[in-house]
């Protein structure tokens, strides 16, 4: 069942040939917020902490499900980024 979420959320994660606007449902996310260069070491450290937290939540949830004889597991989604420019002078 690896990457089953790709099939379930194909409308969101499917490949499009042209840019388009999609509606993302209200989900719970773990996010990083900040500013600066994503190539800086601090960004890498924050991403590592984010994935560590996400996998800890996953394994805790899975252990509780197994303890209660429920078969419940989920995939930790890949990292997604939303970037913006502070001003138009930075474009191109």
Q: Is residue 2 over pLDDT 60?
A: no
How does pLDDT run across 41-63, given as a tens digit for each residue? 988 898 899 999 999 988 888 88
Range from 21-25, 69-73, 87-91 that averages highest in pLDDT: 21-25
Which pLDDT score, from 0 to 100, does residue 70 have?
Answer: 74
pLDDT band per the 50, 70, 90 thresholds, residue 12: confident
- Alpha-carbon span 88 to 85, nearest angstrom: 7
Q: How far apart are CA 85 and CA 24, in angstroms?
A: 22
Rg of the chain over Cα atoms, rounded to whole angstroms, equals 17
């Amino acid at each position: 069942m690896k990457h089953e979420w790709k099939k379930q959320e194909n409308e969101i994660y499917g490949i499009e040939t042209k840019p388009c606007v999609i509606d993302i449902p209200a989900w719970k996310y773990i996010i990083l917020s900040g500013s600066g260069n994503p190539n800086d070491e601090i960004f890498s450290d924050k991403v590592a902490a984010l994935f560590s937290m996400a996998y800890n939540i996953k394994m805790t949830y899975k252990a509780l499900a197994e303890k209660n004889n429920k078969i419940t597991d989920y995939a930790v989604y890949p990292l997604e980024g939303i970037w913006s420019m502070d001003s138009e002078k930075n474009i191109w």
